[in-house]
Chains A and B, each alone.
Chain A
Amino acid sequence: MFTYTLRRLLIAIPTLLIISLIIFLLLEAAPGDPLGDVPLTVPPEVKAKMREALGLNSAWWVRYLLWLKQFFWVEPVHLWDYTFGTHFGDGMQRVISFQSRQPVMAIIAERMPQTLMVVGLAYIVGVLIALPIGIISAYKQYSWFDNIGTFIAMLGFSVPTFFTGVVLIIVFAVKLQWFPSVYDTMLEVTDWSSFWQQIRQMVMPVTVLALYNAAQISRFMRASMLDNLGQDYVRTARAKGLTENVVVLIHVLRNSMIPVITVIALGVPTIFGGAIITEQVFKVNGLGQQLILSIYANDLPMVMTLTFIFAILIVLFNLVADLLYGILDPRIRYD
């Protein structure tokens, strides 16, 4: 297992390098000018200076290598400095956002909590409601419970989050006025009332995303349970006189969870990606919203860095999923 993990991590390095190059080239090829938003009144010489300052005049590969160095060397050194109070990184040029002229990583660190809180919570809630629904739906296949579950899952699947989001806003924020329609990011939780306010503003975005996640995962859970309920070993378990609870929740579930856990692990990177659309709809200033804003502004370092972080997470969680599979299924051996 250890050597397998090590090998996979080593393979991940060239994979990620190639991915970074592809992202860079794609962004390079995209139309748009980082200085496009600069007012027309700014004289061309000044613009040229700005261009120079942003490093836009050097060849693409120089800029690519520079970014690589900044991302893989300068940023970790800064993280080290920040954590341990050292000063190794002083004077090194970090990845800077074109738009805000701040280090990209500082912006990401600032926005991460919002995303983790809203999107992460939605993922957890989604998983927690999806698993029992999937289990019961499979065990009582074609019952009214299963039919309702199927219907809701279809809704969650097929109705886009910007639609459910807007519907929720109209019903619960505008008509009923139960929840605020806009997520207040300045809110600081200091006491019970602000905590309550935080909960209230999270309810709708979390609901929208949780519904979407639950729809997918409950279907997986159901399919996996159905697969296993028909297996011969289930009959053996029943022939031993075990109760239905033990048969279903231990024997069948333990087998059914293997693919489902893999799917759940593979979905984790999407949390960090932030639900781009949902964050937009509810004005949550998380990473998803940041990505959209940066794309509009042609903020290449920001887009590049965010996209690449997602790529790392995806590669990483693919490995995590594979390792979990190996841990959960004794038939799989990695060596």
Chain B
Amino acid sequence: MPNGAEPALRVDGLKTVFRTRGGAVHAVNSVSFDLYPGELLGVVGESGSGKSVTMMSLIGLLPQPPAEIRAGEVMFEGVNLRTCSPEHLRKVRGPGIGFIFQDPMTSLNPVFTVGYQLREPLIKHMGLNKKQAHARAKELLELVGIPDAERRLKDYPHQFSGGMRQRVMIAIALTCDPKVLIADEPTTALDVTIQAQILELVKDLRQKLGMAIVWITHDLGVIAGIADRIMVMYGGQIVEQGPVKEVFRAPAHPYTQALLRTVPSVRGDRAPKLSVIEGQPPILTAAPAACSFRDRCPKAFDLCHSQNPPRFEAGPGHDAACFWNSAADSPRAAPLILTEHDHA
């Protein structure tokens, strides 16, 4: 973690808007975060909170149009990926930043064998010949726990089950030993034992290769188990961010608090009953001018309706975008100083 090291990836003020027939959708609103080498950053947030769109915006994987990245900087190895040349971006994709996509059923090309799809980046980026690439592809399949790898390389995606395809996706993302791995709900289609295997594998790789990992999931249990830091997203913004232990012990944002209450026993103690978060997710037709959680928030007060809260420090390396000071259980004392992120 921080320790004064250079971040492997630095995202600053990222804004992504979709232009649709029904108007604009502000999917990502000034998102900023750092990712350090060897760190595992868990990202949580309800469906539609902009987790996938944020990550895809980083390496320009959203089709433009309809997507439009309006602002922000994505610094990777000293280059801003938002403004760099397409060639440079292509060199980063794969060996620099690997991506595991959310939907394994449709993310593989149906007419090429799995072996072909694994060999492609190896030949392109790692300078391997076909035979070497084949050997490496086999290794990778074995690595993600697909039995009979040699034979399965000749199979087409439809011959794999959903869980198997997800593992193939993971293998593809790992082909070029990326420095940063972005995993978008990579284990949702897997059963618990496989999920545990994959988690072990990822921990292992992180140690061996010093890979930095962004792990998007809905499973707070997984986050508790493997993540160093957690980032909570809501309405296309980061509402809370900090070391996992810190955030789980003392969540500072009412949304995080509610989120943790919906899980039975992440913190070890048994919750009396499961709760749901009342209300609807925000509608993203305009950039937020007030707190996007205000309508569902038990602590909301007048300020929350007129200003979008900036991120306030809530502990060491821990911040939350909320005008309510949870530690003191009172509104934050005036004058409120906005952080730089909020002006973007």
Q: Which of A239, A251, A328 has the most CB of B within 10 A?
A: A239
Q: Do residues B93 and A231 form an inter-chain contact, with CB atoms below 8 A? A: no
- Partner-contacting stretch, out of A25-33, A53-61, A162-170, A240-248: A240-248
Contact of A331 among B63, B91, B158 (CB under 8 A): B158
Q: Do residues B93 and A255 form an inter-chain contact, with CB atoms below 8 A? A: no
Report B165-182 residues with CB < 8 Å from chain A CB: 169, 172-173, 175-176
Cβ distance A89 to chain B, nearest Cβ, rounded Å: 48
Q: Do residues B90 and A241 form an inter-chain contact, with CB atoms below 8 A? A: yes
Q: Do residues A235 and B94 form an inter-chain contact, with CB atoms below 8 A? A: no
Q: Mark A215-254, 1 if CB is under 8 A from B, else 0.
A: 0000000000000001111011111111110000001001
Q: Which residues of B contact A258 (CB under 8 A)?
A: 111
Q: Do residues A254 and B112 form an inter-chain contact, with CB atoms below 8 A? A: yes
Given that A232-B107, A242-B120 are known contacts, is A330 also in contact with B158, CB under 8 Å in the complex?
A: yes
Q: Do residues A241 and B110 form an inter-chain contact, with CB atoms below 8 A? A: no
Contact of B106 among A232, A237, A240, A251 (CB under 8 A): A232
Q: Report if A329 contacts B (CB, 8 A).
A: yes
Contact of A236 among B59, B108, B176 (CB under 8 A): B108
Q: Which residues of B contact A243 (CB under 8 A)?
A: 90
Q: Which residues of B contact A328 (CB under 8 A)?
A: 111
C-alpha gap A275/B124 in the complex (Å): 48
Interface residues on B, range: 20 to 34
- Partner-contacting stretch, out of B95-103, B137-145, B191-199, B230-238: B95-103
Q: Do residues B101 and A232 form an inter-chain contact, with CB atoms below 8 A? A: yes
Q: Report if B136 contacts A (CB, 8 A).
A: no
Given that A254-B111, A255-B111, A329-B111 are known contacts, is A235 also in contact with B101, CB under 8 Å in the complex?
A: yes
Q: Which residues of B contact A230 (CB under 8 A)?
A: 63
Q: Do residues B106 and A233 form an inter-chain contact, with CB atoms below 8 A? A: yes
Q: Which residues of B contact A254 (CB under 8 A)?
A: 109, 111-112
Given that A233-B108, A254-B111 are known contacts, is A238 also in contact with B93, CB under 8 Å in the complex?
A: yes
Q: Do residues B110 and A232 form an inter-chain contact, with CB atoms below 8 A? A: no
Residue of A nearest to B176 (CB): A241
Cβ distance B121 to chain A, nearest Cβ, rounded Å: 4
C-alpha gap A242/B121 in the complex (Å): 7
Given that A239-B101, A241-B121 are known contacts, is A233 also in contact with B109, CB under 8 Å in the complex?
A: yes
C-alpha gap A235/B175 in the complex (Å): 16
Contact of B172 among A235, A240, A244 (CB under 8 A): A240
Q: Which residues of A contact B125 (CB under 8 A)?
A: 241
C-alpha gap A70/B208 in the complex (Å): 79
Residue of A nearest to B110 (CB): A331
Contact of A233 among B92, B110, B175 (CB under 8 A): B110
Residue of B nearest to A233 (CB): B109
Cβ distance B224 to chain A, nearest Cβ, rounded Å: 28
Tally chain A residues at the interface, Cβ within 8 Å. Answer: 22
- Binding site secondary structure of chain A: helix
Q: Do residues B109 and A237 form an inter-chain contact, with CB atoms below 8 A? A: yes
C-alpha gap A108/B98 in the complex (Å): 62
Q: Do residues A236 and B90 form an inter-chain contact, with CB atoms below 8 A? A: no
C-alpha gap A255/B106 in the complex (Å): 13
Q: Which residues of A contact B176 (CB under 8 A)?
A: 241
Q: Do residues A241 and B124 form an inter-chain contact, with CB atoms below 8 A? A: yes
Residue of A nearest to B122 (CB): A240
Q: Report if B33 contacts A (CB, 8 A).
A: no
Q: Do residues A241 and B95 form an inter-chain contact, with CB atoms below 8 A? A: yes
Residue of A nearest to B169 (CB): A236
Residue of A nearest to B118 (CB): A240
C-alpha gap A230/B125 in the complex (Å): 25
Q: Do residues A330 and B61 form an inter-chain contact, with CB atoms below 8 A? A: no
Residue of B nearest to A239 (CB): B99
Contact of B111 among A232, A242, A330 (CB under 8 A): A330
Q: Do residues A240 and B120 form an inter-chain contact, with CB atoms below 8 A? A: yes
Q: Do residues B111 and A240 form an inter-chain contact, with CB atoms below 8 A? A: no
Q: Which residues of B contact A329 (CB under 8 A)?
A: 110-111
Report A256-278 residues with CB < 8 Å from chain B CB: 258
C-alpha gap A328/B56 in the complex (Å): 31
Residue of A nearest to B96 (CB): A241
Cβ distance B229 to chain A, nearest Cβ, rounded Å: 24
Q: Report if B76 contacts A (CB, 8 A).
A: no
Residue of A nearest to B87 (CB): A243
C-alpha gap A235/B93 in the complex (Å): 11
Cβ distance A328 to chain B, nearest Cβ, rounded Å: 7
Q: Report if B156 contacts A (CB, 8 A).
A: yes
Q: Which residues of B contact A237 (CB under 8 A)?
A: 109, 120
C-alpha gap A243/B94 in the complex (Å): 12
Residue of A nearest to B156 (CB): A330
Cβ distance B156 to chain A, nearest Cβ, rounded Å: 4
C-alpha gap A255/B108 in the complex (Å): 12
Q: Which residues of B contact A255 (CB under 8 A)?
A: 109-111
Q: Which 10 A-B pairs have the closest CB atoms?
A: A241-B94, A241-B93, A232-B106, A233-B109, A330-B156, A240-B121, A239-B99, A232-B107, A241-B90, A236-B107
CB<8 Å pairs between A and B, sample of 7: A237-B120, A239-B99, A240-B94, A254-B109, A255-B111, A328-B111, A331-B158
Interface positions of A (Cβ within 8 A of B): 230-233, 235-244, 251, 254-255, 258, 328-331
Interface positions of B (Cβ within 8 A of A): 56, 59, 61, 63, 86, 90-95, 98-99, 101, 103, 106-112, 117, 120-121, 124-125, 156, 158, 169, 172-173, 175-176
